[in-house]
Amino acid sequence: MVTANVTESLVVEETPVQSRLRTGIRLVRDLLKFHPRLFAIAVAGASLYAVCTVVSSLGVAFLVDSVILPRFVAGQIDTGVYVTGAAIVIGIGLLRAFGVVVRRSFAGVNNWRTVESLTMLLVRQIMTQPSIWHKKRMTGDLVARVGVDSDAAAEVLGPLPFSTAVVRPDVLILDEATSSVDASTEVRISRALRKLALGRTTVSIAHRLSTAARAERVVLLENGRIIEDGSHDQLIAKNGRYARQYQSWVFSTQSTI
């Protein structure tokens, strides 16, 4: 019986994680009631940035299909297509910049105004207490600590507008990710990049043929033009420029070993 009583008391004294979550949600909800319009504008700016991030992938697709590839293959592009591509890049960039400015500005204003409102509310609450309450406590010390405590409480609002702008990218572009490292470091970086590239389309710009050999599609450029395109096995079977470079690289690697 004693053991049962002790166990029951321990269970009652524990604080469930769900109650902490509810407390946090109530805190955020109460803080948002002070200046909801400012917070909404900050979230709108962050959402605009996130939308532009997604739309930028469509802009990149247009540039690759209509500007970059025709330039490599045909050696020239239509002026109208070039202007359209430039307008897309500039337009998306300006909208993203506007979203960042709105998000940062209004998130900061909302944070310090919430601190100000919360501080004034607490000070008024302290001043309305009866004289007996003030005699038992150091009122000046309490008022001095109100500002610090209000600032700490309002800090939870700061990351919220920024979190709405986080988008998981579907395209990962690597530019010479392993160009200036030794062989052992390259292996460790490659393992980390393979985990990072899961579920994403990865475009890797590299001179190291060990990187090219792992790609599903290899595009070989020379003087700004595509001279070979295919998988690693296809290009090796073709016995062209890529195959000769790869065989030379394998030979040099074995010679150093």
- Which tokens belong to 160? 């919220």
Give the DSSP letter string of 190-209.
Answer: HHHHHHHTTTSEEEEE-S-H
pLDDT at site 98: 93
Task: Provide the pLDDT for residue 131.
Answer: 80
Residues 6+ apart with CB under 8 A from 88: 59, 62, 63
Position 7 scores a pLDDT of 39
Closest CA to 186 of 177, 197, 175, 195: 177
Return the residue matching tokens 């150093």. Answer: 256
CA–CA gap between residue 36 and residue 110 (Å, rounded): 8
Residues 108 and 92: their CA atoms lie apart, in Å, by: 24
- Residue 138's SS3 state is coil
205, 203, 212, 204: which is closest to 246 by C-alpha?
212
In whole angstroms, give the CA distance from residue 162 to residue 142.
33
Mean pLDDT, consecutive 10-residue segments, the chain of 257 residues? 38 55 81 88 88 81 79 75 83 90 89 88 83 76 78 79 67 74 74 76 78 82 82 87 82 62
| Residue from 173, 240, 177, 237 nearest 210 by CA | 177
Which pLDDT does position 15 carry in this prediction?
54
Domains and CATH numbers, the chain: 2-163 (no CATH), 171-256 (3.40.50.300)
- Listed residue (81, 83, 56) closest to 70, CA to CA: 81
- Calculate ∠ Cα 151-152-155, nearest 5°: 85
What whole-number distance in Å separates Cα of residue 173 and Cα of residue 58?
15
> Is the pTM higher than 0.85?
no
- Quote helix, strand, coil % in the chain, to nearest 5: 75, 10, 20
Structure tokens at 32: 């948002």
**How many Cα atoms sit within 13 Å of 21 on the Cβ side?**
3
Quick count: other Cβ atoms within 10 Å of Cβ 214? 15
Contacts of 32 (CB under 8 A, 6+ apart): 39, 157
Alpha-carbon gap, residue 215 to 78, rounded angstroms:
31
